[in-house]
Structure 1
């Protein structure tokens, strides 16, 4: 058969070239790990595909996959793709029922806890026809699952690798390959469609960001990325992250596997990277094997860069990667370049230049060049699933390309670099002033005693009161923090528009990365609500 260059199927075929090479490491706690070779992973994918086929899963079926185990996630996703079915990735959160009602899945695959939630909360009720359970086998498991009405059990143990790889037919580039839901941090989660061409484009662009070399080991602190790691040709270590609250993961669960497997590449959100760096600083540890750290999910702040630099070897690179579920990745910038002073009128945080093959422009720009960032290129998803209204609002064709409106405010400077100013939905407008969140927060976050800040508007647009919410460092005195904020914002042209400084011990954040601040809840808090 003919396989498109760089497709998922080309990359799966490459795994057969080195059958004994470790491609995935599943972790349990700080020290317990299990290596999975290419042969074992492919054998497990075939066995899982056989079990799915026997359960009635067919080409085109939409299958929710909700498991916390890296091997079972990868085996299930690869097996579904090999059958021509469509994996659906969604976080176990309060809006799951609405999301599943929207996409109408045919299949639900999950560990026992996911099935408890499915039955108790009515996830996919009346729509899911096939249910399958992942998890460890035990005597009487099949009978128990039958009594509970949870469906068949998928193979749970990693096989010996003696069986053949799955038979994977080549799809058309425009065939639907996967649906991944947005985090919902700035609105209701939406199901993003990835075509096979989209996945191929994203994998090629991720190659350019990772720049993996033979022998590299990637510590992936975001579980869904573990499904991409083997396809990128790098041994992928999947630590046991608390997926409902990543920032509450015991740091040893991250640092232990990192040191034990001598990871050379580390990928995680700022909240998780702060756990790693903070643990190492407190315990006098260093990370001598790491040569590149990739931060994503929220802006990378100088204070975290400084903390990481203390534990990384000289010459190690720290990258801030920008993108969204609908277009990932878009741009990347080295931490050293983050210190560059913005050109006049270009405040905010620099995102760097778009990656190879990716184009960016600013739409509906005002007189200062501020507008909404739009992206085109092979990484851009074509549509939201079952949401034509959202697709029409975010997607448009121009100059022979499909452009995605990101919902992010930004500018392009004369050197072609993108500058991030915050979300369009978070613009604060009052009597005689307009404030972007990143413009203010990038400066305020440098104040001593401040862990992070969030600018919110209270009241109707155009008549809002600007409130700067502050999450202080532990033990910091409020009076000293307020003085430090005055100094940090003293030269800011719009600092006088901030009417109130409000302290809160811990900000509400998104469930996916624990790094994006839930500003709607903070604004309600600032108005007097305590939600």
Structure 2
């Protein structure tokens, strides 16, 4: 018999949505069955909207089945890994579900990756088949050329974004060449290539679908602080749980229309966008990349009700000079994660639109949300409370003793959404889990605290801490303070070498347009010294036009940190 959760772990039950159970039992089927059920119930209902073209649930099902048949004719067997490599588009979702129908495993890859990075996604999962966008095929083939001959791809399916769009699509001017260009069929040395239409014309029979809850469904990769990215083994049941839970949490129904702009290769877009949408039989309006004007147009035209996003997207949309032309009145649910929503922006959403921004928290290892704010009682700049069926604690990273409310420690997570382990990495898997109160908990590597009400707050990554003369500086805290400066649009805090202090604090800053040329680095330094403890205040400020961001919209602080380390190590001319 398992020990009952401690009192701090149950504190969030006081603010738990009364309409929801604390835990749920998800369907004991594979994710493929969610599409089958939605197509049976709503065959003529739009499942996907891509610019001006709609794809019904019946069409989505039929396309996935035909592509699955093609994959099987190309040698894909039960449990094989298949790469899916493209931006958000209808073909991405067709490809994903086709791989599931073929009894195989999806390897979603960031479309921003270049050849030097892509080789790992071919060799590590032992992938021999890939489905990719035509404009990305060159990078994938370049990577394939560098892979040992026996480990290379043997078949490639190539899709054009334009084939999923209607003739009257209103495309942002800067995207017209990208989305509308036709590319010659690539050549795969030692293998074969099929065009998308050719693959969907396959009439071969399909074997029985034999995947169940415990079978591997997807292998998303996550970067750590060292080494190459690791594949997170997610069976059907982990994603199924969070797809169902996300629907209940966000009051999703078949009448929901969601804007899906968070990348589908990323666990949040995959689960909260695609899987939750298909489970609920709702309509998904797809954006291939972020563009604030297109987002405003799509929300207005398609009467979008639900929008899961990165807070920087909301900030960007609200800053549009055309914002008053868009109609956001259809929105009933807006939320996201990846970064804290600035308090001033959250307050504007509430006052102007009556929307409470619902922040959440999760990792690739937890199938997106392990925490979420109750929609009726959210706290700003807060991770929320443990999600449905989840037990989360804050423990001392060294002693693994549970910390009292208000005290910082490492967030650990137990629940049906937690992955099974890292692909081919038993050492990393063993290091990622601990036994706590008789249960297997995942060590998030994130520092946080829990308040008296059971809400969790992030402090920072364990590995990101800056040690300035023995004082621990957590960059996220400094960044949150700097965001209050009226001239600062964005800031990323990193460590810089200091001969006296060991490390000092450096801020890489993007100024607001109206502050450029009128605000100096010294102005920022002086303001920081006035508004935060001296050991936290940046000793150096660097202005940049934009911060580097990942495909999921997160600031790439590690890249900035590595650039700073390289600069410090370079010899003085």
The correspondence for 2:342, drawn from 277, 301, 313, is 301
Larger displacement relative to structure 2 (204-213 or 433-442): 204-213
Aligned 8 A contact 1:74 1:227 in 2: yes
Counterpart position of 2:55: 36
Cα deviation per residue 1:249-281 (whole Å; 9 max; x = unaligned)?
432332222222111011221233333322266
Larger displacement relative to structure 2 (410-419 or 126-135): 126-135
The offset of 1:447, in angstroms, is 1.5
CA spacing shift, 1:102–1:84, aligned 2, 3 Å: same
Task: State the SS of the aligned residue for 1:464.
Answer: strand
Counterpart position of 1:456: 494
Cα deviation per residue 1:367-395 (whole Å; 9 max; x = unaligned)?
87222111111111111112223222212
CA spacing shift, 1:7–1:454, aligned 2, 3 Å: same
The offset of 1:506, in angstroms, is 3.6
CA spacing shift, 1:385–1:508, aligned 2, 3 Å: farther
Alignment of 1:93-172 (within 5 A): 93-94=113-114, 95-122=117-144, 124=147, 126=149, 127-136=151-160, 144=185, 151-153=192-194, 155-156=196-197, 169-172=209-212
The offset of 1:165, in angstroms, is 12
Tell me the TM-score normalised to structure 1 length.
Answer: 0.83
Counterpart position of 2:465: 427
Aligned 8 A contact 2:119 2:147 in 1: yes
Cα deviation per residue 1:266-306 (whole Å; 9 max; x = unaligned)?
12212333333222664543311111112222222224324
Task: State the SS of the aligned residue for 1:36.
Answer: strand
Two-structure CA RMSD over aligned residues (Å):
3.6
The correspondence for 1:82, drawn from 81, 101, 114, is 101
**Within 2, Cα distance between the matches of 1:87 and 1:400?**
33
The correspondence for 1:509, drawn from 548, 552, 558, is 548
Cα deviation per residue 1:389-414 (whole Å; 9 max; x = unaligned)?
32222123433433211121111222
The offset of 1:102, in angstroms, is 2.1
Alignment of 1:449-488 (within 5 A): 449-459=487-497, 463-476=502-515, 479=519
The correspondence for 1:354, drawn from 376, 382, 386, is 386
The offset of 1:364, in angstroms, is 1.9
Larger displacement relative to structure 2 (276-285 or 411-420): 276-285
The offset of 1:445, in angstroms, is 1.1
Aligned 8 A contact 2:233 2:420 in 1: yes
Gaps of 5+ in 1: 28-32, 242-248, 341-348
The offset of 1:119, in angstroms, is 2.0
Tell me the TM-score normalised to structure 2 length.
Answer: 0.78
**Within 2, Cα distance between the matches of 1:495 and 1:333?**
33
The offset of 1:453, in angstroms, is 2.2
**Within 2, Cα distance between the matches of 1:183 and 1:232?**
31
Matched, 1:276 2:317: yes
Task: State the SS of the aligned residue for 1:350.
Answer: coil
The offset of 1:486, in angstroms, is 5.2
The correspondence for 2:326, drawn from 274, 279, 285, is 285
Counterpart position of 1:177: 217
Cα deviation per residue 1:305-333 (whole Å; 9 max; x = unaligned)?
245457x63x3332112111111101123
Q: How many residues align?
A: 502
Task: State the SS of the aligned residue for 1:495.
Answer: coil
Matched, 1:379 2:417: yes
Aligned 8 A contact 1:26 1:34 in 2: yes
**Within 2, Cα distance between the matches of 1:291 and 1:186?**
41
Gaps of 5+ in 2: 1-25, 164-181
Matched, 1:25 2:49: yes
Aligned 8 A contact 2:394 2:411 in 1: yes
Counterpart position of 1:199: 239
**Within 2, Cα distance between the matches of 1:426 and 1:414?**
26
Aligned 8 A contact 1:132 1:151 in 2: yes
Larger displacement relative to structure 2 (170-179 or 54-63): 170-179
**Within 2, Cα distance between the matches of 1:158 and 1:174?**
29
Counterpart position of 2:17: none
**Within 2, Cα distance between the matches of 1:527 and 1:128?**
34
**Within 2, Cα distance between the matches of 1:286 and 1:435?**
42
